[in-house]
C-alpha cells in the first residue's frame, strides 16, 4: 500500500487526476472504476479541466461502484445523475461506455449478474477510485461484508444513511438498500486509488492502513492488494503513526 499525503483537498484531487491522466495517455481505451460522494468532486473538476486542455475520453470505459436501489437514473440523488452532473456531461465520453448499476432494475439478482459480467467482458478495471466511509466502508460494503462478496444488493448501515441524508430532503428519503460492487470485485481491479480528506475520516484511514485486516473494517482488505495507493489530505492522515 502506498500512502501519499497532500497538503489539502485541492492537491489530493490533482494527484488523483494525475494518475488517471497518465493511465489514459498510456492506454486511451482504459477502463476506469469511479466513485461518488463528496470526496471525488474535486477530482472530477480536475479531469474536466484536463479534458478542456486535450485529455481524450472518447475510448474510455467506466464502471461506477454503486447505485441506490429504487431510484431511477434521472432522480437527482441517484449516482447516475451525480456522474452526469460532475463528469460525464462535461467530457467527451461515449454514453455506451458508461456503466452504473440500474437502481430501477426489476430483478436485482439479474442486475448484479449483468454488472459483474459486463465488467469481465470489458477486460476488468484498470484503475478503481474509492472513497471511504467514516465506518471504513468501501463502495456500500459495510462492516461485516464478506471479503468474497461480488456485486450485490446490500443494506446500508444506519451511519451511512445518516451521512448521506444531506443529499436528500429528509433522512427517511434515503434508500435503505443499494447495488454495490463487492469486496472481491474491488480487489480484482488492477490498481486502486483511495481518496480521503478531512478529520472525520482519520480513524477509518488509520484502521484501514494500520489495523488488522478484518471484515469489520472493509477498507483494511486493501492492505492485501498489490497496487493500491491512498491519497490523503493532512487531516485524514492525522492518526497515522508514521
Among 28, 29, 38, 216, contact with ligand PGA (rule: CB under 6 A): 38
Q: Does 218 bind ligand PGA (CB under 6 A)?
A: no
Q: Does 175 bind ligand PGA (CB under 6 A)?
A: no
Q: Does 162 bind ligand PGA (CB under 6 A)?
A: no
Q: How far is the CB of 38 from ligand PGA (least distance, A)?
A: 4
Q: Does 33 bind ligand PGA (CB under 6 A)?
A: no
Q: How far is the CB of 8 from ligand PGA (least distance, A)?
A: 16
User: Per DSSP, which regions of the chain are E strands?
Assistant: 2-6, 31-34, 61-64, 66-68, 98-99, 127-130, 152-155, 177-180, 191-196, 228-233
Residue 203 bears catalytic tag: no
Options 102, 135, 141, 197, the catalytic residue = 135
Residue 137 bears catalytic tag: yes
Residue 80 bears catalytic tag: no
Residue 233 bears catalytic tag: no
Name the residue nearer to ligand PGA (CB basis): 11 or 114: 11
Spatial separation of the C-alpha atoms in residues 208 and 211, rounded to whole Å: 6
Among 131, 175, 182, 218, contact with ligand PGA (rule: CB under 6 A): 131
Looking at the DSSP bridge assignments, the partners of residue 34 are 64
Complete edge-to-edge strand list for the sheet that includes strand 61-64 = 2-6, 228-233, 191-196, 127-130, 31-34, 61-64, 98-99
Residue 4 exposed, middle or buried by CB count within 10 Å (0-12, 13-18, 19+) = middle
Options 46, 66, 111, 126, the catalytic residue = 66
| φ, ψ for residue 18, nearest 5 deg | -60, -45
The binding site for ligand PGA (CB under 6 A) comprises 37-39, 131-133
Q: Active-site positions?
A: 66, 135, 137, 142
Amino acid at each position: 500500500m502506498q500512502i501519499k499525503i497532500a497538503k489539502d483537498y485541492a492537491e489530493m484531487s490533482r494527484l488523483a487526476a494525475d494518475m488517471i491522466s497518465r493511465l489514459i495517455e498510456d492506454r486511451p481505451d482504459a477502463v476506469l472504476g469511479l466513485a461518488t460522494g463528496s470526496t471525488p468532486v474535486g477530482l472530477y473538476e480536475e479531469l474536466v479541466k484536463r479534458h478542456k486542455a486535450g485529455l481524450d475520453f472518447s475510448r474510455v470505459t467506466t464502471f461506477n461502484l454503486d447505485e441506490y436501489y429504487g431510484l431511477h437514473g434521472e432522480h437527482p440523488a441517484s449516482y447516475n445523475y451525480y456522474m452526469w452532473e460532475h463528469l460525464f456531461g462535461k467530457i467527451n465520453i461515449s454514453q455506451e461506455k458508461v456503466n452504473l448499476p440500474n437502481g430501477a432494475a426489476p430483478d436485482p439478482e439479474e442486475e448484479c449478474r449483468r454488472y459483474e459480467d459486463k465488467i469481465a467482458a470489458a477486460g476488468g478495471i484498470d484503475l478503481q477510485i474509492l472513497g471511504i466511509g467514516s465506518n471504513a466502508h468501501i463502495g456500500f460494503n459495510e462492516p461485516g461484508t464478506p471479503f468474497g462478496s461480488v456485486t450485490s444488493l446490500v443494506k446500508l448501515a444506519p451511519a451511512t444513511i445518516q451521512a448521506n441524508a444531506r443529499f436528500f430532503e429528509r433522512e427517511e428519503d434515503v434508500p435503505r438498500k443499494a447495488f454495490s460492487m463487492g469486496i472481491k470485485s474491488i480487489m480484482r481491479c488492477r490498481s486502486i486509488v483511495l481518496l480521503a480528506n478531512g478529520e472525520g475520516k482519520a480513524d477509518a484511514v488509520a484502521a484501514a492502513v494500520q489495523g488488522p485486516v478484518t471484515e469489520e473494517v472493509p477498507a483494511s482488505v486493501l492492505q492485501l492488494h498489490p497496487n493500491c495507493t491512498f491519497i490523503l489530505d493532512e487531516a485524514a492522515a492525522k492518526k497515522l503513526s508514521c
